[in-house]
């Protein structure tokens, strides 16, 4: 794609943002007096310990592209954004940003809490290099987008977090920046405002604005970004298409310390790591299809085992069409969730179920057997049952969790005989023919009837 023009007519071969060998070191002092000693000794002795928040990061992003930055907490994501925004000075390396940079970093940063929203708009406009008249011309559209009503003339310290976000995003995007930097701040906005934000970002990208975007949401990274950068421990491990980077990020997120260290070594030694290509590569039509597999390092760390009330669920697993145990699924594939139930005492009206949940706990759906009102009349103590729930993987790429539950009547009381929450963690890989949006792809089968244009009767 090198040389391909963006919608704004700017060649893709000319990066809007180039980062070269960027590193940031912080000096950690155990006591305040050590900082004074360091000054007096003028570097002849060291009274601090070094902490490298970022080491030798390099990449380039073309106009109109969006780069998603992912990594575990403490990996250096926010430090990178602050260096690009210019609010931190690098220890070494450089940032070459063409045009105005607008950043939405920590919520409310750049706002004076004693000033009104309107006053803060003029203040931030001046910081961004806009004249008073320019800000006044932008003000009606900006306040309409923020939709904070009469609070525009009230002190920012009286705002809710959502209102502060609305105003901050409106200011950051109203000045038509060449580069827009967005940290995880959008996560505090409500759903309606997030939709407005992402629509605004897409519109800006169509005009040639480059976006740096930090999010812990794989769906947002896959949907919004052309490239993804994986950071860990301040080190750049991977720069590639989001569909390749997101699974590695999720592997690292759920891996044990030893497995995470081995993953770091593998990614670090990968010769295909791209450091300074602004264009996005796309797999050819002959690329091999994704296949489900079992990742031993992907384990649920949030399992809740409810007390048994006369039964116990064991051996929960997901199997593919061949009956093999898997926990890395391919979008659109056919799978089954299986588990065994041991009945420790007699029960009546027994029903079994499953539930798929997101990492934030949203219940996407599941199934029960048998149907409500058709439970097993009586099950004797010592009986065993193997449950199987077949399903098609219609959720979009990301990490999800499975619940297993068993209901029944004991001594005439309907209760959970046993319940396991978040008992199985699984990850979904993107299908190359599908585009991420939301949580579930409801368009299982789609068609289009295309009619050729009718002639005007002339020969």
In the chain the first and final C-alpha atoms are separated, in Å, by: 42
Model confidence band, residue 3 (pLDDT cutoffs 50, 70, 90) = very low
Burial code (b: 16+ CB inside 10 Å, e: under 16) for 132-160 equals eeebeebbeebbebbebeebbeebbeebe
Q: In whole angstroms, give the CA distance from residue 167 to residue 346.
A: 61
Model confidence band, residue 353 (pLDDT cutoffs 50, 70, 90) = very high
| pLDDT reading at 178 higher than 70 | yes
Model confidence band, residue 129 (pLDDT cutoffs 50, 70, 90) = confident
| pLDDT reading at 338 higher than 90 | yes
User: Please, is 371 exposed, middle or buried when counting C-beta atoms within 10 Å of its C-beta (0-12, 13-18, 19+)?
Assistant: exposed
| pLDDT reading at 422 higher than 80 | yes
What per-residue confidence (pLDDT) applies to 280? 40
Backbone torsion region of residue 374, taken as left when φ is above 0, otherwise alpha when ψ lies between -120 and 50, otherwise beta:
alpha
What per-residue confidence (pLDDT) applies to 5? 35
What per-residue confidence (pLDDT) applies to 286? 45
Q: In whole angstroms, give the CA distance from residue 136 to residue 156.
A: 19
What per-residue confidence (pLDDT) applies to 11? 45
Q: In whole angstroms, give the CA distance from residue 83 to residue 86.
A: 5
Cα Rg of the chain (Å, integer): 27
What per-residue confidence (pLDDT) applies to 375? 55
- Closest by CA position to 343, among listed 404, 386, 390: 386
**CATH node for 304-429:** 2.70.50.60
Mean predicted confidence (pLDDT) in 164-186: 82
Mean pLDDT, the chain, rounded, equals 82
Which of 5-14, 225-234, 420-429 is the least confident region? 5-14
Q: In whole angstroms, give the CA distance from residue 136 to residue 151.
A: 18
What per-residue confidence (pLDDT) applies to 106? 62
Mean predicted confidence (pLDDT) in 117-122: 90
Tens digit of each residue's pLDDT (9 = 90 or more) over 361-409:
778 899 998 865 555 678 899 999 999 999 999 888 888 999 999 999 8
- Closest by CA position to 211, among listed 175, 181, 186, 231: 181
What per-residue confidence (pLDDT) applies to 199? 77
Long-range contact pairs involving 192-199 (C-beta distance under 8 Å, separation at least 24):
193/147, 193/162, 193/165, 193/166, 196/145, 197/169, 198/224
Q: In whole angstroms, give the CA distance from residue 279 to residue 64.
A: 11
What per-residue confidence (pLDDT) applies to 342? 95
Tens digit of each residue's pLDDT (9 = 90 or more) over 251-296:
888 778 888 888 888 888 875 554 444 444 334 444 456 789 999 8
Domain boundaries, the chain: 17-268, 304-429
| pLDDT reading at 442 higher than 80 | no
- Closest by CA position to 311, among listed 419, 417, 412: 417
What per-residue confidence (pLDDT) applies to 111? 83
Which of 21-25, 97-101, 260-264, 359-363 is the least confident region? 359-363
Tens digit of each residue's pLDDT (9 = 90 or more) over 310-322:
999 999 999 999 9
| pLDDT reading at 446 higher than 80 | no
Mean predicted confidence (pLDDT) in 134-150: 88
Residue bearing tokens 């009619």:
451
What per-residue confidence (pLDDT) applies to 48? 84
Tens digit of each residue's pLDDT (9 = 90 or more) over 235-262:
999 999 888 888 888 888 877 888 888 8
Mean predicted confidence (pLDDT) in 345-362: 87
What per-residue confidence (pLDDT) applies to 301? 79
Q: In whole angstroms, give the CA distance from residue 421 to residue 307.
A: 12
Q: In whole angstroms, give the CA distance from residue 389 to residue 406.
A: 13
CATH classification number, 17-268, choose in 3.90.550.10, 3.40.50.300, 3.90.10.10, 3.40.50.720: 3.40.50.300
263 half-sphere exposure, CB direction, 13 A CA radius: 26
Q: In whole angstroms, give the CA distance from residue 226 to residue 242.
A: 7
């Amino acid at each position: 794609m090198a040389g391909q023009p963006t919608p704004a007519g700017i060649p893709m071969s000319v990066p809007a943002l180039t980062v070269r060998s960027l590193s940031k070191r912080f000096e950690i002092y155990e006591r305040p007096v050590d900082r004074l000693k360091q000054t007096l000794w003028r570097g002849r002795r060291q009274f601090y310990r070094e902490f490298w928040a970022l080491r030798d990061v390099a990449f380039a992003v073309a106009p109109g592209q969006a780069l998603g930055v992912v990594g575990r907490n403490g990996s250096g994501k926010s430090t990178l954004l602050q260096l690009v925004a210019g609010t931190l000075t690098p220890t070494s390396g450089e940032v070459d940003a063409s045009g105005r940079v607008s950043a939405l970093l920590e919520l409310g940063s750049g706002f004076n809490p004693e000033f009104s929203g309107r006053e803060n708009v003029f203040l931030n406009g001046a910081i961004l290099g806009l004249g008073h008249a320019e800000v006044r011309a932008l003000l009606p559209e900006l306040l309409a987008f923020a939709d904070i009503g009469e609070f525009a003339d009230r002190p920012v310290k009286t705002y809710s977090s959502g209102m502060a976000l609305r105003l901050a995003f409106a200011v950051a995007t109203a000045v038509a920046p060449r580069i827009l930097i967005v940290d995880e701040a959008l996560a505090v906005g409500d759903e309606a405002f997030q939709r407005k934000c992402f629509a605004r970002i897409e519109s800006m990208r169509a005009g040639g604005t480059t976006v740096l975007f930090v999010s812990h949401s794989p769906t947002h990274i896959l949907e919004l970004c052309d490239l993804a950068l994986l950071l860990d421990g301040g080190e750049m491990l991977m720069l590639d298409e989001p569909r390749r980077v997101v699974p590695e990020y999720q592997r690292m997120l759920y891996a044990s310390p030893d497995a995470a260290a081995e993953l770091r070594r593998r990614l670090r030694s990968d010769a295909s790591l791209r450091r300074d290509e602004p264009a996005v590569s796309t797999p050819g039509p002959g690329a091999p299809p994704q296949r489900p597999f079992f990742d031993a390092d992907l384990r649920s760390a949030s399992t809740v085992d409810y007390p048994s009330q006369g039964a116990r669920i064991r051996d929960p697993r997901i199997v593919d069409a061949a009956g093999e145990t898997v926990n890395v699924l391919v979008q659109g594939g056919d799978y089954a969730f299986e588990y065994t139930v041991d009945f420790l005492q007699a029960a009546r009206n027994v029903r079994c179920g499953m539930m798929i949940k997101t990492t934030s706990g949203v219940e996407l759906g599941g199934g029960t057997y048998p149907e409500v009102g058709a439970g097993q009349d009586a099950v004797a103590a010592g009986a065993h049952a193997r449950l199987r729930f077949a399903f098609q993987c219609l959720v979009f790429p990301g990490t999800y969790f499975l619940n297993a539950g068993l209901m029944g009547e004991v001594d005439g009381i309907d209760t959970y005989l046993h319940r396991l929450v978040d008992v199985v963690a699984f990850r979904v890989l993107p299908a190359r023919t599908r585009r991420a949006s939301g949580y579930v792809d409801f368009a299982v089968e789609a068609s289009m009837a295309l009619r050729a244009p009718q002639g005007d009767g002339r020969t």
